[in-house]
Chain A
Amino acid sequence: MSGENTPKTETTTSTSNDVFRRIVSGSGMVSLLAVVLSMILGGVLIALTNDRVEETASYFFTRPTDMLGAAWDAASSAYIALFQGAVFNWDAKSTAQMFRPFTETLTVATPLILAGLGVALAFRAGLFNIGAQGQIILGATFAGWVGFTLDLPVGLHLLVAIVAGFIGGALWAGIAGVLKARTGAHEVIVTIMLNYIAINLVAYLLFTPAFQNPGSANPISPPIKDSAVFPLLLGSGFRLHLGFLIAVAATLAIWWLLNRSTIGFELRAVGANPNAARTAGISVSKGYIVVMLIAGGLAGLAGVAQISGTERVLTGGIAASFGFDAITVALLGRSHPWGVFFAGLLFGAFRAGGVQMQTQTGTPIDIVLVVQSLIVLFIAAPPLVKAVFRIDVKKKRATSPTALTGGAA
């Protein structure tokens, strides 16, 4: 009905939509190869920036083994440390400490999965939701305020905080959804701008007494009350909290929503071809608003996972870069709920392992960011990856129709 004021923009963007859809729903093989290729290039970078390699390079032709050995040592020790920090540390003193890295990966993956699901869901409806960062911040702010201001019984308090976080994120993304549906304002621009507003809004709030520790002028909120904290799943030695189970449940729910529910069907129809969807009697504008509300709510839950799970206090950096990493996670997971789940785990492992890599081998943590960015680059350019690994493009093309419908379905 009100969607009728937007068809003009839809037809002009149909070609870019095509490219967009190919990027967000590429083949799983490309994702996997992109990761492998990025890791190799990351290794080369680690070797190149290593002091010892630089030293030995000066006499490469007199004794080349020195440099090659040093390069291999630098890259392999960095990746071994990454693995030890992310999955299993065989050097640890106790069994619990050996398994701690994996729980750490799950912990870090929690907000990534939740926010990644939000981004992926919007992708499926044809919306490029760049605003996960702002939605996480709003979710954390709402949940945080509930957490440190209200006095509620155990159980109920946490529940209210979770709901508040969901609403916070949903409201923020809903603004973009409504503007898109009613006025055709492009969601990329609106969500990016809303990110800035969210960042500055929380910075402002942290200077108001309602959000500050009593007796302190530092921009940190008081810690949230114990009743609003996610219970730890494995005891006090580990940071893994209930939020991870919520992330698993959310993955299941989004899978169900997309593949088994009427709303999901409508959303996918809108994403596949808004014009056809409109002709078929599906309200495109309603679809945009609904999908942004749910997407924002998921990102808001990521904010809850941050404040109730690991951070406990609200600061300007509560969302870290999770909102932007979530976009990569959604791309890598090909906008499929379980794909997002495993991509989230992988990025969680990178982040968790990066810490160990930094302390153990002195490799700058930025290398993790480089690897992540390379992954995006390769996913955005599938022909490049295929060329590097000499995958037969023709053979792929023969099977691509099914792959395409699979991606769109």
Chain B
Amino acid sequence: MKNSPRTIKRGKGAATALLAASALLLSACGAPPAEDAEQDKSANSDYTGCIVSDSGGFDDNSFNESSYEGIQAAEEDLGIDVKQAESAAETDFGPNVNSMVTAGCDLIVTVGFLLSATTKEAATANPDTNFAIVDDNKIDLPNVKPIIYDTAQAAFMAGYLAAGTTETGKVATYGGIQIPTVTIFMDGFADGVEYYNEQKGEDVQLLGWNKEAQTGTFIGDFENTSKGKTNTKNFVNEGADIIMPVAGPVGDGTMDAVEEVNADGKDVKVIWVDSDGYLKVPTGKEFILTSVMKLMGEAVEEVITSDVEGNFSNEPYVGTLDNGGVALAPFHDMEDAVSDEMKSELDQIKADIISGEIAVESEASPK
């Protein structure tokens, strides 16, 4: 009795092994490449661009990933050498940045305000190495370039669009953690909704964020997808039909919830943040109205390019609607759901924000 399951198991194991071996055999019969496959390196191969992530890692679907894409683009376009280090925890920041310095990096991109102290220390100790820090504007050193975003500008447009698109008269937003880089989205969104109400004499309500009191709905982290799902369902039950999750990967929970309620006959839309959600989310992209984008990849590549050309400056890079650092994503499948009138109004708002006619203010805006 004891033996029989064992023999079956062994038989199975042998079969699997045989299968695997034959698969290997088949795939392993290819021809080797020619010996002189070594390609000539382009002119910038002596330049090393480096990047250190925060604890989210380079696969966070958010700012680490976009920044990483930027440095990869620079590798491709400029032919520079690239080194990357992922931080598993905050205690890795110091050692990671330091090992980049010793590895001879010309420019080190550090991602996130959590790396602020580390970056400042390393930059002070190594005045010959240039640094760029994403989402932080606290360092004032000749060799540190802050890369920051006035996200509220694009979020304002999203708020206006949401208020003009809702059929229930209620829209909602929630955040991951109450930190400036999150609340700036929510502030802009709130202002956009209010602006729509002023212009049109409507009374569209915003759930999940009160700009005056700076209080609202937050998950408490950037991981708890199931809480994001529950939150979203609560908003839908309260009558909201457009949701903007500002919580990185937690937004997947919102997508889950929206797919479920829409299958039950509701018509709920999502506004994604950071990157174009239509191109990112695994399922449910047809429910994405638009996205409030921070184009970090472009900014990172731009900073590296100017450093390669010898034009590094410590002037902060501030992503705005004007320079295209922040933007509203295309509507994709929702092209028809947005009226032409709304589209032209959005264009007008964009122009007005750029010209300063409309002032978008947030406590969290870069100063």
A contact residues vs B (CB 8 Å cutoff): 56-63, 66, 85, 92, 97, 104, 108, 200, 203, 207, 216-220, 223, 239, 306, 310-313, 315-318, 320-322, 352, 355-356, 358-360, 362, 364-366, 369
Q: Would A321 and B88 count as touching, CB distance under 8 A?
A: yes
B36 is an interface residue with CB less than 8 A from chain A: no
Which residues in A have their C-beta under 8 angstroms from that of B91?
306, 310-311, 317-318, 320, 322
- Given contact pairs A311-B94, A322-B91, A365-B86, a sample of 17 additional A-B residue pairs in the complex whose CB atoms are under 8 Å apart: A57-B27, A58-B28, A59-B30, A59-B32, A62-B32, A104-B95, A203-B220, A217-B179, A219-B177, A219-B179, A220-B113, A315-B90, A317-B114, A359-B84, A359-B85, A362-B84, A365-B88
**Do B28 and A57 have beta carbons less than 8 Å apart?**
yes
Q: With the chains together, A58 CA to B31 CA distance in Å?
A: 8
- A207 x B30 contact (CB < 8 A): no
Q: Which bucket holds chain B's interface residue count?
A: 35 or more
6 A-B pairs in the complex with CB atoms less than 8 angstroms apart: A62-B29, A207-B178, A216-B138, A219-B179, A317-B89, A362-B84
CA distance A225 to B234 in the complex (A): 45
Tell yes or no: B102 within 8 A of A by CB: yes
- Asked if B180 contacts A359 (CB within 8 A), the reply is no
Binary contact track B155-199/A, C-beta < 8 Å → 1, others 0:
000000000000000000000011110010000000000000000
Q: At the interface, yes or no: B19 with Cβ under 8 Å from chain A?
A: no
The 0/1 profile, CB within 8 Å of A marked 1, for residues 65-107 of chain B is 0000000000000000001111011111011100110110000
Interface string of B29-48 (1 = CB under 8 A from A): 11110000000000000000
Q: Footprint of A on B, CB under 8 Å?
A: 24-25, 27-32, 50, 55, 83-86, 88-92, 94-96, 99-100, 102-103, 113-114, 116-117, 138, 177-180, 183, 220, 363-364
Minimum CB distance partner of B87 in chain A: A365
Report the minimal beta-carbon distance from B97 to chain A, rounded to whole angstroms: 10
* Closest Cβ–Cβ distance, residue B184 to chain A (whole Å): 11
Q: Which of A57, A217, A312, A355 contacts B85 (CB 8 A)?
A: A355
The residue that A359 contacts in the complex, of B55, B83, B89, with Cβ under 8 A, is B83
* Alpha-carbon distance between A51 and B353 when the two chains are bound, in angstroms: 47
Residues A355 and B88 in contact, CB atoms below 8 Å apart: no
Bound together, the chains give a CA A362 to CA B50 distance in angstroms of 12
Known: A59-B30, A62-B32, A320-B88. A359 touches B94 (CB 8 A): no
- With A and B bound together, what is the CA distance between A311 and B29 in angstroms? 53
Describe A's contact surface by its main secondary structure: loop
On chain B, the residues within 8 Å of A200 by CB distance are: 220
Q: Which residues of the other chain, B, contact A320 by a CB distance below 8 angstroms?
A: 88-92
Bound complex: CA of A59 vs CA of B24, how far in Å?
Answer: 10
Docked Cα-Cα span, A92 to B91, in Å, equals: 24
Q: Tell me the bound Cα distance from A203 to B95 in angstroms.
A: 24
- Would you call A317 and B30 a contact (CB within 8 A)? no
Q: Which residues from chain A contact B32 at a C-beta distance below 8 Å?
A: 56, 59, 62-63, 66
The 3 closest A-B pairs by CB, nearest first: A317-B90, A320-B89, A60-B28
Q: A63–B84 Cα gap in the complex (Å)? A: 32
Residues in chain A near residue B86, CB distance under 8 A: 358, 364-365
Contact status of A61 and B29, CB under 8 A, knowing A311-B90, A317-B55: yes
Is there an interface contact between B83 and A61, defined as CB atoms closer than 8 Å? no
Kindly list chain A residues whose C-beta atoms are within 8 Å of the C-beta of B84: 358-359, 362
A322 to B92, CA, bound (A): 12
Q: Are B90 and A355 in contact (CB under 8 A)?
A: no
Task: Given A317-B55, A356-B99, decide whether A62 and B31 contact each other with a Cβ distance below 8 A.
Answer: yes
A85→B92 CA distance, assembly (Å): 14
State the CA gap A311–B117 with chains docked (Å).
9
B220 CB to closest chain A CB (Å) equals 7
Closest to B25 in A: A61
CA separation between A2 and B25, bound complex, in Å? 69
CA distance in complex: A57, B28 (Å): 6
CB distance from B120 to the nearest CB of A (A): 11
CA distance A271 to B113 in the complex (A): 46
Whole-angstrom CA separation of A320 from B93 in the bound complex: 11
Which single residue of chain A is at the shortest CB-CB distance from B103? A359
Query: B100 contacts which chain A residues (CB < 8 A)?
Result: 359
Q: Which of B85, B90, B179 contacts A358 (CB 8 A)?
A: B85
- How far is B177's CA from A83's CA once the two chains are assembled, in angstroms? 39
Interface centre among A63, A85, A220, A318 (most CB of B within 10 A): A220
Within the complex, what minimum Cβ distance (angstroms) separates B119 from chain A? 13
- A310–B29 alpha-carbon span in the complex (Å): 53
Chain B positions within 8 Å of A218 at CB level: 113, 179-180
Complex-state Cα separation, A369 to B99, whole angstroms? 19
A328 to nearest B CB, angstroms? 15
Q: Which residues of the partner chain B approach A322 to less than 8 Å between Cβ atoms? A: 91
CB contact under 8 A between A355 and B96, given known A217-B178, A311-B90, A320-B89:
yes
Tell me the complex Cα distance, A358–B179, Å. 30
Set A60, A217, A239: member contacting B94, Cβ < 8 A: A239
Would you give the shortest CB distance from A134 to chain B, in whole angstroms? 16
Task: Decide: A318 near B90, CB < 8 A? Known: A217-B180, A352-B95, A355-B85.
Answer: yes
Residues of A with C-beta under 8 A to B31: 59, 62
A141 CB to closest chain B CB, in angstroms? 14
Is A312 within 8 A of B117, CB to CB?
Answer: yes
Q: How far is the CB of B190 from chain A (nearest CB, A)?
A: 17
- A60 contacts which chain B residues (CB < 8 A)? 24, 28
Residue from B88, B114, B363 with most neighbouring chain A CB atoms (10 Å): B88
Q: Are A59 and B28 in contact (CB under 8 A)?
A: yes
The one of A59, A312, A355, A366 that contacts B29, using a Cβ cutoff of 8 Å: A59
Which residues from A are CB-within-8-Å of B96?
355, 358-359
Whether the Cβ atoms of A92 and B92 lie closer than 8 Å is: no
Inter-chain CA distance A58–B23, complex, in Å, is 11
Chain B residues contacting A104 (CB-CB under 8 Å) are: 95
| A313 (CB) vs chain B CBs: closest residue | B117
Residue in B closest to A357 when the chains form the complex, CB atoms: B99
Instruction: List, in ascending order, chain B residues with CB within 8 A of A364's CB.
Output: 86
Contacts of A312 in B (CB 8 A): 117
A366 to B58, CA, bound (A): 13
- CB-CB under 8 A from A317, the residues of chain B are 55, 89-91, 114
Closest partner residue, chain A, to B96 (CB atom): A355
Question: A318: nearest residue on chain B (CB-CB)?
Answer: B90
Chain B hits for A203, CB < 8 A: 220
Give chain B residues whose Cβ lies under 8 Å from the Cβ of A61. 25, 28-29
Interchain nearest-CB distance for B127 vs A (Å):
15
Report if A310-B94 is in contact (Cβ < 8 Å); known contacts: A61-B25, A85-B99, A217-B180: yes
Q: What is the CB-to-nearest-CB distance from A216 to chain B, in angstroms, rounded to a whole number?
A: 8
